[in-house]
Chains A and B, each alone.
Chain A
Amino acid sequence: MTTLRIDHVSRWFGNVVAVNDITMTIGPGVTGLLGPNGAGKSTLINMMGGFLAPSTGTVTLDGQPVWRNEQIYRHIGVVPEREAMYDFLTGREFVLANAELHGLGAKAAQKALATVEMEYAQDRKVATYSKGMRQRVKMASALVHDPSLLLLDEPFNGMDPRQRMQLMDLLRRMGDEGRTVLFSSHILEEVEQLARHIEVVVAGRHAASGDFRKIRRLMTDRPHRYLVRSSDDRALAAALIADPSTSGIEVDLAEGALRIQAVDFGRFTALLPRVARDHGIRLLTVSPSDESLESVFSYLVAA
């Protein structure tokens, strides 16, 4: 069990406050650190990784301070956002050097290269690698000592969809193994696909924390929208609108579906299947059309 605690952490650069009094606890599993560009995500990750001192507050890993404590890196693996990584080495040499710096040898390096499936290109110079290959070799260098905490700054930047999927699978696996994995992203779909737990940072402040669906549900003053297809859309619409949990229904002829606006989330989700069953209507599609992080996010930013 590895727990990273950020306790009332602020960081300012001159007059600019990059991170403003953030407190959060990151436990095992995959956590997404979400926020728009310039929100302070990298500053926060740099403080979590011990590469930047908080102006106030503390960052600790299982009670140990992270700043100015090089022994902490026995437990932390870091995948930085920046590209530079000893381009004159081959992938194998790079990962081996990282292993050696941890006091490990070729076996650990080879295992890490196998984990990220980079053995096929391990003897090529890093300079010749694509963005996705670099990312995977960086990942291997971070995994070489089997760390319990993995910090990744914008790991999916510039990756193609296939590489993205591979890396997501890998991170999911790391989370399932009980590691504490934290990655930052400004792209909502990435976080949505990978992390159940999110920490939202907006303009240096901690805007929200928890399961994003729960966060979404907490915002009761904002209606939830659903796209529903059924065997009899109009009959379903008539039955649903009679209930106060529904505030509006549009029959979308082009889509062949109902666009339903619900004001009471809990009540509506119980109502819909019951009404369908009572009227003998078959539900074909029920999908939340705005429960994406995009809507959560724009809501949080506006709030």
Chain B
Amino acid sequence: MYDPTVARLTYRALLGRRRALILGALPLLLIVISVVVRALTGADDQTASNVLGGFALATMVPIVGVIAGTGAIGPEIDDGSVVYLLSKPLKRPTIILTKLIVAIAVTMVFSAVPTLVAGLILNGNGQQIAVAYTVAALVASIAYSALFLLLGTVSRHAVVFGLVYALVWEALFGSLVPGARTLSIQQWSLAVAHRVAEGDLVTSDVGLTTATVLLVAVTVLATWYAGQKLRSLTLAGEE
């Protein structure tokens, strides 16, 4: 179910110079913000939670997820080079699962790791806040990667749809319409983080059980469906 060659090709495509720069920009910004905030306000749990919840988890993780998830397959489908994978005796779900693993790994490295570093800078993991948000970032990395990999498989405008979901649905509607928050990977991952953190600084609108079920369901269904879509992917000619 995992093909090392597909993984190698995907890593090299994802971490090509330009995309690596974009992937690295937001984590760098988070670290810079954390250093500045810590210098200005000192170690404060509430501030740490605000920065990690408001910027790291709400903005950086989904954007990194969009870039890695859609980037793991979208460009190949767009430019047609996916034909070199499809013209092989490889099971299509194997291609998808391998790309998912790569996308998850890249998203985790570029979102969970900087979240932990930022948390340590902000308040030295007081009240387990750094670890809690890191766990949330890790969990969210899996679901975002699966969802955006599916988007990359079915749509040529995956990046746009991905950003609309991450920024408009989760951030905007999530803050205006309470119900929208229930259908949000961010909230589900916060439910997991809530369990890890001490105190009530990390909260979620969704219960842990519901969150876990939804996270698993989205990941599994998106991956399965992406595999099905790849089985019947049509390569249109240039005519």
Q: Identify the A interface with B (CB < 8 A).
A: 18, 37-43, 45-46, 49, 51-53, 68, 70-74, 76-78, 80-82, 84-86, 88-89, 97-98, 100-103, 141-142, 153
Chain A nearest CB from B226 CB (Å) reads 16
Which of B8, B16, B83, B237 counts the most chain A CB atoms within 10 A? B237
Known: A51-B234, A100-B5. A84 touches B80 (CB 8 A): yes
Interface size class of B (residues with CB under 8 A): 20 to 34
Known: A42-B239, A82-B80, A97-B5. A88 touches B90 (CB 8 A): no
Question: Given the complex of chains A and B, what is the CA–CA distance between A80 and B13 in angstroms?
Answer: 20
Contacts of B236 in A (CB 8 A): 46, 52
Contact with A along B1-34 (1 / 0, CB 8 A): 0011110110011001000000000000000000
Question: Given the complex of chains A and B, what is the CA–CA distance between A41 and B237 in angstroms?
Answer: 9
Q: Is the CB of B90 within 8 A of A101?
A: yes
Q: Is the CB of A71 within 8 A of B89?
A: yes
Chain A nearest CB from B96 CB (Å) reads 13
Known: A41-B239, A70-B91, A100-B5. A86 touches B84 (CB 8 A): yes
Other than the given A88-B16, A100-B5, A141-B84, 9 more pairs (CB < 8 A) read A42-B239, A43-B237, A51-B235, A72-B89, A77-B87, A97-B84, A100-B4, A101-B85, A102-B89
Question: Given the complex of chains A and B, what is the CA–CA distance between A46 and B80 in angstroms?
Answer: 12
Contacts of A39 in B (CB 8 A): 239
Q: Is the CB of A70 within 8 A of B92?
A: yes
Q: Is the CB of B83 within 8 A of A82?
A: yes
Contacts of A71 in B (CB 8 A): 89
Q: Is the CB of B232 within 8 A of A70?
A: no
Contacts of A49 in B (CB 8 A): 87
Chain B nearest CB from A30 CB (Å) reads 20
Contacts of B91 in A (CB 8 A): 70
Known: A49-B87, A51-B86, A100-B5. A81 touches B92 (CB 8 A): no
Q: Is the CB of B88 within 8 A of A101?
A: yes
Contact of B79 among A46, A81, A82 (CB under 8 A): A82
Q: Is the CB of B232 within 8 A of A53?
A: yes
16 contacts between A and B (CB under 8 A): A41-B239, A42-B238, A43-B239, A51-B83, A51-B234, A52-B234, A70-B89, A71-B89, A73-B88, A81-B238, A82-B79, A88-B13, A101-B5, A101-B84, A101-B85, A153-B237
Q: Is the CB of B235 within 8 A of A46?
A: yes
Question: Given the complex of chains A and B, what is the CA–CA distance between A77 and B89 in angstroms?
Answer: 11
Contact of B81 among A18, A85, A153 (CB under 8 A): A85
Contacts of A43 in B (CB 8 A): 237, 239
Question: Given the complex of chains A and B, what is the CA–CA distance between A132 and B233 in angstroms?
Answer: 28
Question: Given the complex of chains A and B, what is the CA–CA distance between A70 and B86 in angstroms?
Answer: 8
For window 112-144 of chain B, which residues contact chain A by CB distance below 8 Å? none
